[in-house]
Structure 1
Amino acid sequence: MARPTFLCTAALLAASAPFLTGCAPSGTAEAGAAALTPKQAETLDKQLAGKVAGKPETCLPSYRSNDVIRVSDNILLYRSGGNLVYRNDLKGSCPGLARDSDIMVIEQYGSQVCNGDFFHLVDRSSGIRGPTCVFGDFVPYRKPAGDAG
């Protein structure tokens, strides 16, 4: 009698395979990262143009986290003047972040925002809380010394 259960399980797995593969990211260089649209890629390229990536930092002081650019549902940029931008690749996707219409509410403990800290989105018109998202490391991108452009 174990055979019918096995056949049912196999049939369910076979039927759900197209749905499961539909959730997988396509055309990405990083595991779990969603591919950028042309507009998102242009925004990222424009903000990081001429800058060199530095050593990832686990925390970002609050005074440097005021100018946020939402590139995609996975990537945030924090501008700190014209020569310094911090890139944060979130730990997983944050559905709706790229729309830039919801309010980001950061659950901050202390004077810094750190890798592993949470934030959630709140719908601007209804006040309904959206997904909870998690920060990754903050990678500084700086213009090389002596680069005036």
Structure 2
Amino acid sequence: MILALAVFVSAIAACGPVDSTPKPLTDKQSVRLTKELSGKVAGEAVNCISDFNGANVIRISDDILLYRVSGRLVYKNTLRGGCPGLANDNDVIVTEQFGSQKCRGDLIKLVDRTTGIQGPVCSLGEFVPYRKNKTAG
């Protein structure tokens, strides 16, 4: 058992350091993010949001998710360390959360739609609310 663990750890180390620096947004991703947040003003980040319909999750990039609550409120979440392959929208997002809220530090897994094979496990960051300005119609 210890030998197997040692082999596993050395195999991971042989892969080299993992670069967790977020890649810059592509032009397409920037346009989509701007469109989704247009007319909204950022508020103070919160650690948790109420759980709601998961169908309203928008993948912007490998490190940015948007949670659309309504036309007036969207939460932007910048994942801690990114999530390779998230932007491809090929996999199902499975959230591991504790309680009735999504919180900073909760884990999301990417699972292949066809095979059910689990991909990366990633951690949610803070949730920044973007609200429509009340003075704008």
TM > 0.5:
yes
Match 1:108 to one of 88, 94, 97: 97
Aligned equivalents of 1:116, 1:78: Cα separation in 2: 16
User: Please, which of 45, 57, 74 is the counterpart of residue 85 of structure 1?
Assistant: 74
Unaligned runs of 5+ in 2: 1-15
Instruction: Classify 1:65/1:39 alpha carbon distance in 2 versus 1 (closer, same or farther; 3 Å).
Output: same
**Normalising to structure 1: TM-score of the pair?**
0.77
Q: 2-side partners of 1:71 and 1:121: how far apart? A: 15
User: 2:109 maps to which residue?
Assistant: 120
- Hey, what does 2:132 align to over in structure 1? 143
Post-superposition CA distance 1:57-96 (Å, at most 9, x none): 1001102654000000000001111111100000012011
Helix, strand or coil at the partner of 1:63: coil
Scaled by the length of structure 2, the TM-score of the pair is 0.83
The CA deviation string for residues 80-118 of structure 1, in whole angstroms up to 9 with x for no partner, is: 111111000000120110011100010011100100111
Asked if residue 68 in structure 1 is aligned to residue 45 in structure 2, the reply is: no
- The residue that corresponds to 1:43 in the other structure is 32
Q: Which amino acid aligns with 1:82?
A: G
Where relative contact order (Cα < 8 A, 6+ residues apart) is larger, the structure is: 2
Aligned to 2:9: none
Alignment of 1:10-29 (within 5 A): none
| RMSD (Å), alpha carbons | 1.7
Q: Between Structure 1 and Structure 2, whose CA radius of gyration is higher?
A: 1
Unaligned runs of 5+ in 1: 1-18, 26-31
